[in-house]
Amino acid sequence: MGFEELLKEVGGYGRFQIRNVLLLVLPRLLLPLNFLLPIFIAAVPSHHCALPAQDPLDNLTQESAWLEAYVPREQDGSLSSCYRYLHPHHSNTTPEEQEDQVVPCPDGWSYDQSQFYSTIATQWDLVCERKGLNRVISTFFFIGVLVGAVIFGYLSDRVRVVRCWTPHYGRHPGQRLLVYGSDAAGSDWLPDPRLALAAAGCDPALCPGYPQPLASLWLECPTLCLPPPRWVPESARWLMTQGRVKEAQHYLLQCAALNGRPQARDRLSTEALSLVAEGEKMVRRPSYLDLFRTPRLRHISLCCMVVWFGVNFSYYGLSLDLSGLGLNLYQIQLLFGVVEIPSKMIVYLSVRYAGRRLTEVGALLGTALTVGASLLLPSGLGTWRLVLGVAGKGFSEAAFTTAYLFTSELYPTVLRQTGLGLTALVGRLGGSLAPLATLLEGTWSPLPKVTYGGIALVASATALLLPETRHAELPETIQDVEKKRTLKGSQEEGTPMKVIRN
């Protein structure tokens, strides 16, 4: 008897499994807030160079005149944020003399505190030539997403609490890197075909993360939202592979009791479980290399990697880069949160009637087109730019939601978890690079958004190369994938097949 048969004996889809999924969902509700937290903690308010104290003998008594005397103007007429005159200039100062006196801010900066009293940008002066250090905060967080799920799970809670008292910039990126360790939470208590879908349903991108202004303090006390460790059972499969049969027996008995399967106790003797454990040790575990061993599976994996990179890059790029939308951060976040509701509803209908592939292609194409259209708008049409920005966010959310369902149906059961793990890993790489794209505005101001839209367009074209999975049976083995087990193919080859309608 294998472990899957053992799960069926104790109740593969009972109350025990439902309780475990709910316990794992609760802490993950905080994750969307952490993903978007840099929008607020790293916000850069309006600023200019700190000016010397006004000389009482100087006739420049008004603050605006004092700024005009010390702060040069940019080409668009706005006051410079990064430079000042070394000495106050007057109307009779020649342009050549003014240019010679322009220097970087020698005494620091003065910040507008009307919206934010303090952020990491104002606390550590992460502006001007140091603005890259501010943008990299989000990147460190996403790098933590990459590695934290594997090795930092047990550190996640204590690191979040320590972050409340971070005294300087040098420690903050490292703590952002560690904070996402709890993403490793998974469950071997569900049979494999539903495990991937359950994991997708708990993903932070699928949960609205926009009550941010009210939740910022709550994020710094995450232990209040985490279930006690004793409530979340260890994986019985893992315990068996480690030779800890007694502990596995304890949890399996709990599962059978909660699922109302008392008759399963006879199959859970130490001797019987030891035999199952020996069989589990002999089973070859799938690896990432298995996703590239056969032609069709290799094609699916490469295409999914490109799609997931594009989905994450455009989603987090548009979520974190809010420049040029004409509203304050709170209003924009409210709109971005509201648009996710119809976006998910449209995805639910679209994947049922238009198919997974067309939904993914359309959502990514819509993201690219809205970003491109916003760049072509004249400067006076701010309202339309906001409408297109919100629509682009809705399309990117639709692409993110569809990606989980589509990918889980492309891979066979034996590689489904591995395939989702690889594509999610590549997607997180895209998410980690998205905040750094804003640094391209120093080369050309529209370049970050051109990058978001361009990569979404490439991902959309790549998604066209994937097979449709609507009306197709979930593949069980690698051979099923290689035989192109779609409904159309089965009819042409005369192969009987159970059809999944939606």
Q: Does residue 92 fall inside a structural domain?
A: yes
User: Based on C-alpha coordinates, what's the Rg of the chain?
Assistant: 27
Cβ atoms of 424 and 364 within 8 Å: the answer is no
Enter the tokens of residue 2: 């294998």
Amino acid at 321: D
Q: 48: part of which helix (H) or strand (E)?
A: strand 47-49
Cα distances from 423 to residues 136, 195, 274, 401, in angstroms, run 23, 16, 35, 14
For residue 236, the tally of other CB atoms under 10 A from its CB is 28
Together in a domain, 452 and 318: yes
C-alpha 256: how far from its chain's center? 36
The pLDDT score that the predictor gives to residue 63 is 66
Q: Does residue 450 fall inside a structural domain?
A: yes
Helix, coil or strand: residue 47: strand
For residue 296, the tally of other CB atoms under 10 A from its CB is 13
Strands (E), 69-186: 83-85, 102-104, 109-111
Dmax over Cα atoms in the chain, in whole Å? 99
Q: Bin 323: left if φ > 0, else alpha if -120 < ψ < 50, else beta.
A: beta
pLDDT by 10s per residue, the chain, length 502:
677 777 778 887 788 888 877 777 766 666 667 777 788 888 889 898 988 765 544 555 566 777 888 888 887 778 889 998 887 776 565 666 556 678 899 888 999 888 888 888 898 888 988 888 887 877 877 777 667 655 544 444 344 444 444 454 444 444 444 444 444 444 466 654 444 444 444 444 444 445 544 444 445 455 455 555 567 787 787 788 778 888 888 888 888 888 888 888 878 888 888 888 777 666 667 788 889 989 999 999 999 999 999 999 999 999 888 877 878 888 888 899 889 889 989 999 999 999 999 999 999 999 999 999 999 988 778 889 999 999 999 999 999 999 988 998 999 878 888 898 889 889 988 988 998 898 888 788 899 999 999 999 999 999 999 999 988 888 878 888 888 644 444 443 333 333 333 4
Q: Does residue 122 fall inside a structural domain?
A: no
Domain enclosing residue 414, as ranges: 294-502
Beta bridge partners of 102: 85
Together in a domain, 442 and 478: yes
Together in a domain, 164 and 232: yes
Q: Does residue 199 fall inside a structural domain?
A: yes
Looking at 283, 311, 340, the residue that finishes a domain is 283
Helix, coil or strand: residue 73: strand
Enter the tokens of residue 468: 């449709």
CATH label of the domain that carries residue 363: 1.20.1250.20
Together in a domain, 73 and 201: no
Looking at 242, 262, 283, the residue that finishes a domain is 283
Torsions phi, psi of 123, nearest 5? -70, -40
The pLDDT score that the predictor gives to residue 282 is 63
Together in a domain, 97 and 140: no
For residue 115, the tally of other CB atoms under 10 A from its CB is 12
Together in a domain, 243 and 359: no
Q: Does residue 116 fall inside a structural domain?
A: no
Amino acid at 227: P
Q: Does residue 121 fall inside a structural domain?
A: no
In the numeric block, the tokens 């009550």 are attached to: 211
Together in a domain, 241 and 324: no
Q: Does residue 411 fall inside a structural domain?
A: yes
Q: Taking the C-alpha atoms of 70, 71, 77 and 80 in order, what is their torsion angle to the nearest 10 degrees?
A: 170
Together in a domain, 189 and 300: no
The pLDDT score that the predictor gives to residue 347 is 93
Together in a domain, 250 and 383: no
Beta bridge partners of 79: 73
How are the residues of the chain apportioned to helix, strand and coil, as percentages rounded to the nearest 5? 65, 5, 30
The domain tally of the chain equals 3
Q: Does residue 119 fall inside a structural domain?
A: no
Together in a domain, 379 and 398: yes
Cβ atoms of 403 and 469 within 8 Å: the answer is no
Together in a domain, 304 and 179: no
For residue 14, the tally of other CB atoms under 10 A from its CB is 16
Together in a domain, 424 and 496: yes
